A and B are shown apart, each in its own frame.
Chain A
């Protein structure tokens, strides 16, 4: 047990070291810090009698609005940003961290150690996930603190939305892992994951698409793809609902995406256990 933890720790540390060296971590941290500084110094919020506020940006002042609503809107906007641009950025920047392990001359050495193959892969996966999670939590917690301190509004939904963001990245990372094992290519892994990200909002409109399609076969394909692939768009909507304090009507996007992640991760581990290096 202790040895397993030691090995996992070493693999995670190694992933962080590589992320530091390839400036991935610092790139993320730089973007997050820029956003944090923007909210801290450039966006000025004046709260009047604890209920209404005006927002000043580069000297321009907006109309007076409900402060709690304003905070939720900013949080919702940031959550949406993390689900779209943030997710693309995270996949693009960190997709190489897993396939690099399979480079000839490096993988043989790793496999020669008394560590099970699935442990090596899961350790790397965890390390990659933590690199992104650390930055997401850094940004979200800092923005949450800034708005909380400036307005006195503390909405925990925003914090929960960051968990959902990391969850979605964890699912997408299983795709990177599987493609990485099969093709050992960061480019292919990125392209396939981007494909899923782009398809997601399209498939989310499945009812509209189904009405436009003439054959039952093609409708089944769309339906099948929607249910099989991770529902990034739906999960993004769910995050927005959490931020705005709206009730969640269906947890299906969570468990079906989780199921996808588990199946793809298992596939990746199985393929890795069978490969010759």
Chain B
């Protein structure tokens, strides 16, 4: 029994697909052990075919692990009851087009164990939350892609889950809709809902998630908080009107130098070197534009990690 303080906990989770005829094996997920704490905002990243979706499917029991196990709030993920607290929005979902928005929420609400009275009470509010209050009675066949994403999110929220698993939630959504989705997720985060995001949009994950894991070729390649992973160890000093002599002097000390539109940017390995450079620049009456720590973007981290494998 894994401790229930983790919303998701996996141990050596492995999935091997075997071709029925040739017997050829594809190791989609290989020994992933991951912990997602309660109330966390967790991003799962990885290039196409890395095994992200297979991993999520094993959490939801739509794919059976070849080895290892997964628990959701301490409960074996294979038990249907373990899924009662999960709200899920799959990637490339295909909602039945014969349903109306409200009808679809009612159907999935019933499957999630909600009684009719509770569903009736909750659906109008949820439609307002996702900005589809006037579309509840319209068939899903008439919805745009962005609207389908939003009604899909409402479907995932219908039974007030404590764990939300979203696979590419912003796919096909315009910037305003994207912002709206992010706001909804922020509200849920404040309520203590654990949010597990599977997305290609690194900037979105960086904006929203506290913890991330990068998986590559079925294995966890990197794991940590976004803050730690993107924090750089160097310092950046940008100044204008730097005399050539001083520029040459600082160039010799800096890790990197870049010149643009009359200003020069120096990258130093540590704070002491950056401070010394600032002293020299001030002594020469140079205009200092910025001084700060260097940061990597999540994209930099992602590319570095994937290329290093």
A interface residues with partner B (beta carbon < 8 Å): 3, 6-7, 9-11, 13-14, 17-18, 20-22, 103-116, 274, 276-277
Q: Mark B87-100, 1 if CB is under 8 A from A, else 0.
A: 01010111111110
CB distance from B291 to the nearest CB of A (A): 50
Sample (30) of A-B pairs whose CB atoms are under 8 Å apart: A3-B113, A6-B113, A6-B115, A7-B110, A17-B96, A21-B97, A103-B94, A104-B92, A104-B94, A105-B90, A108-B62, A108-B88, A109-B88, A109-B93, A109-B95, A109-B108, A111-B61, A111-B62, A112-B60, A112-B90, A113-B83, A113-B112, A114-B82, A114-B111, A114-B112, A115-B80, A116-B80, A274-B64, A276-B62, A277-B57
A266 to B86, CA, bound (A): 29
Answer whether residue B136 sits at the interface, using C-beta atoms and an 8 A cutoff: no
B124-163 near A? 1/0 per residue, CB < 8 Å:
0000000000000000000000000000000100000000
Give chain B's interface residue range (CB within 8 Å of chain A): 20 to 34
Quick check: A114 and B93 within 8 Å, CB to CB?
Answer: no
What's the dominant secondary structure at chain A's contact region?
helix
Known pairs A9-B110, A113-B83; A18 contacts B62 (CB<8 A): no
Is there contact, CB below 8 Å, between B80 and A106?
Answer: no
In the complex, A55 Cα to B111 Cα: how many Å?
A: 53
Q: B108: which A residues are within 8 A, CB to CB?
A: 109, 113
Given A10-B110, A14-B107, A116-B80, CB of A111 within 8 Å of CB of B94: no
Q: Report if B300 contacts A (CB, 8 A).
A: no
Chain A residue at smallest Cβ distance from B53:
A108
Contact A112 B107 (CB under 8 A): no
Besides the contacts A104-B92, A274-B64, what 8 more A-B pairs have beta carbons closer than 8 Å? A3-B113, A14-B99, A106-B94, A106-B95, A108-B62, A109-B88, A114-B82, A276-B62
In the assembled complex, how far is the CB of residue B86 from the closest CB belonging to chain A, in whole angstroms?
6
Smallest CB separation, A275 vs chain B (Å): 8
Is B299 at the interface (CB under 8 A from chain A)? Answer: no
B5 on the interface (CB 8 Å rule)? no
Q: Are B103 and A17 in contact (CB under 8 A)?
A: yes
Check A112 against B98 for contact (C-beta < 8 Å): no
Nearest A residue (CB) for B59 = A112
Partner of B98, one of A17, A103, A108, A274: A17
Of all chain B residues, the one with the shortest Cβ separation from A14 is: B107
> Once the chains bind, are B111 and A10 in contact (CB under 8 Å)?
yes
* Chain A residues closer than 8 Å to B92, beta-carbon distance: 104-105
| B182 within 8 Å of A (CB atoms) | no
Q: Quick one: which of B27-83 are within 8 Å of A by CB?
A: 57, 60-64, 80-83
Q: Are A18 and B90 also in contact (CB < 8 A) when A108-B57, A111-B61, A112-B83 are?
A: no
| Interface contact B110-A105, CB-CB below 8 Å | no
The CA of A200 and the CA of B8, in the complex, are separated in Å by 53
B99 (CB) vs chain A CBs: closest residue: A17
In angstroms, Cα B98 to Cα A21, docked, is: 6
Chain B residue numbers with a CB within 8 Å of A10 are: 107, 110-111
